[in-house]
Structure 1
Amino acid sequence: MKITITGATGHLGTQIVKALSQLVPATQLNLGVHTVSKAAAFAAAGMTVMAMDYHDVASLKPVLADSDVFIYVPSKSHDSYSRVSEFENVIQAAETSRVKHILVMGFIADQINNPFALSAFYGYVPRRLAASSLHYTIIRNALYADPLVPYLPELIERQNVIYPMADQALSFISQADSAAAFAKVATTPRLLGNGRIYTLTQSQSYTMPALANVLSQVSNQPIGYEPVTLAEFEALYNAGNEGHMLASMYAGGALGLLSDVSDDYETIMGHPAQSLVDFLQTNYPKKA
């Protein structure tokens, strides 16, 4: 069996590779990466590491060739046009490289009325796959819980959650749980159904006051909810020109479009996803 993972040295890709390594021999894992040196530890473990560029179809074809399962993790770009262009290259390479099944990372912000800057891409993915000749499965992630850990000190200092979410809720999943689900689906034929779409979330979503209560509990510090405007949020977090993308995501959230709750994780793994409280208590460093 040949399982190919692209984006294998990114945050999620790395965890997917590690999760897969617990289920199949390293020799069955084929990693497509932009910088081969970043995958040195995986190569040393016996995995195949190949250089590729999402914007160069010719470089993708030998990486994807004859893959039984190809796990596609999109690159980190801030606009739908770049992602769609990349995905078209991926589809072309996969169709001509005899990929038997493609497993694609999606996101819950894929609704037709969602103002999120990447919503058009995530909405395009299932429609484009349906029009292709590929057998495919999509796993839609909720928001990652992981960024809350390094963000918590700032929220403690502010004494408030500031997401411009009005009275709407957010759903979360940890990257480790997402990666475990990807690995399980990729290696379990009964789960890898053609055209099947899974949604990975924890067992509940959180309004911003409820999220503030969780963060207060974990940090043992008072944290409330005092939202800033979308424009203020964009200006605050525009490092790397990400401000508009992030603000647009919470604009969708304020419409109730980031609050999905699903039991698909339990269907895949046989147990619920780790709760937000447990995740944060496990990962947030406690002061002595």
Structure 2
Amino acid sequence: MKITITGATGHLGTQIVKALHKLVPATELNLGVHTVSKAADFAAQGMTVTAMDYHDVESLKPVLAGSDVFIYVPSKSHDSYSRVSEFENVIQAAEASQVKHMLVMGFIADQVNNPFALSAFYGYVPRRLAASSLQYTIIRNSLYADPLVPYLPELIERKNVIYPMADQALSFISQADSAAAFAKVATTPAMLVSGRIYTLTQEKSYTMPALAEVLSQVSGQPIGYQPVTLQQFATMYNQGNEGHMLASMYAGGAKGLLGEVSSDYATIMGRPAQTLLDFLQTTYQSAPKKL
């Protein structure tokens, strides 16, 4: 069996590779990466590592050739046009390489009325796959819980969660849980149903006062909820020109479009996803603290 993972040195991709390595021999794992040196540890374990470029179809074809399962994790870009262009190259290469099954990362902000800057891409993915000749399965993630850990010291200082979410809720999943689900689906033929869409969330979603309560419990500090405006949020977090993209995501959240809850994780793994409280308590307590 040959399982190909692209984006294999990114945050989620790395964890998917590690989760897969627990289930299959290293020799069955084929990694497509932009910078080969970043995957040196994986190569040392016996995995195949090949340089590729999402924007160069010809570089993708030899990486995908002979793949029984191809796990596609999109690159990090801030607009739908860039991601759709990338995805078109990936589809073209996957079809030319006769990939047997494609496992694609989606996101819950894919609704037709969602103002999120990347919603058009995530809405395009299932429609484009349906029009292709490929066998495919999609795994939609909810928001990653992981960024809350490095963000928590700032929230402690502010004494408030500031997401412009009005009275709506957010759903979360940890990257480790997401990776475990990707690995399980990729290695379980019965779960690789073409056209099947799984959605990964914890068992409950959180309004902002409820999220603040969890963060207060984890940190031992009082944290409330005092939202800023979307424009203020975009200005405050515009590092790397991500401000508009991030604010647009919470604009969708304020419409109630990021609070979906699904039992699919338990269907895949046979157990519920780690709760937000448990994840944050475990991860925040073990994270290095600034002196």
- TM score, norm. by length of structure 2: 0.98
**Which whole-Å deviations, capped at 9, do the CAs of 1:19-57 have from their partners, x for residues lacking one?**
000000000000000000000000000000000000000
**Alpha-carbon deviations, 1:84-128, whole Å to 9, x = none?**
000000000000001000000000000000000000000000000
Question: Which residue is 1:33 aligned to?
Answer: 33
Q: Secondary structure at the match of 2:138?
A: strand
Is it true that 1:68 corresponds to 2:77 in the alignment?
no
Q: Displacement of 1:285 after TM fit?
A: 2.6
Residue identity in the other structure for 1:151:
Y
Amino acid corresponding to residue 40 of structure 1 in structure 2: A
Match of 2:273 in 1: 273
Aligned partner of residue 271 in structure 2, secondary structure: coil
State the superposition RMSD in angstroms: 0.9
User: Partner of 2:85 in structure 1?
Assistant: 85
What's 1:106 paired with? 106
Deviation, 1:66, is 1.1
Amino acid at match of 2:150: P
Residues 1-288 of structure 1: pairs in structure 2 closer than 5 A: 1-285=1-285
Counterpart of 1:73 in structure 2: which amino acid?
A: V
The aligned amino acid for 1:265 is Y
Segments of 5+ residues of structure 1 without an aligned counterpart are none
Alpha-carbon distance in 2 for matches of 1:260, 1:39: 34
Once the 2 structures are TM-superposed, how far is the Cα of residue 244 of structure 1 from its aligned partner? Answer: 0.3
Give the whole-Å Cα distance in 1 for the aligned partners of 2:38 and 2:209. Answer: 40
Structure 2 unpaired stretches of 5+: none
- Size of the aligned set, in residue pairs, is 288
CA distance in structure 1 between the partners assigned to 2:72 and 2:91 by the alignment: 10
Cα separation, 2, equivalents of 1:105 and 1:38: 22
3-state SS in 1 of match to 2:137: strand
Where 1:183 maps in the other structure, the secondary structure is: helix
SS in 1 for 2:189: coil
Whole-angstrom CA distance in 2 between matches of 1:192 and 1:259: 26
CA–CA separation in structure 2 for the residues paired with 1:202 and 1:236: 29
Partner SS state of residue 70, structure 2? strand
Question: What is the CA–CA distance in structure 1 between the aligned matches of 2:26 and 2:217, rounded to whole Å?
Answer: 41
SS of equivalent to 1:261: coil
- Cα distance in 2, alignment partners of residues 244 and 65 from structure 1: 38
Percent identical residues: 85
CA distance in 1, matches of 2:219, 2:37: 37
Secondary structure of the residue aligned to 1:190 is helix
- Distance, in Å, in 1 between the alignment partners of 2:285 and 2:184 is 30
Q: Which amino acid aligns with 1:204?
A: K
Which residue identity lines up with residue 22 of structure 1 in the other structure?
Answer: K
Q: What is the alpha-carbon distance in structure 2 between the residues aligned to residue 92 and residue 101 of structure 1? A: 14
| Secondary structure at 1:285 match in 2 | helix
Secondary structure, counterpart of 2:191 in structure 1: coil
Alpha-carbon distance in 2 for matches of 1:256, 1:190 = 33
Letter in 1 for 2:255: L
SS at match of 1:78: coil
Q: C-alpha deviations, 1:208-227, integer Å up to 9, x for none?
A: 00000000000000000000
CA–CA separation in structure 1 for the residues paired with 2:161 and 2:178: 25
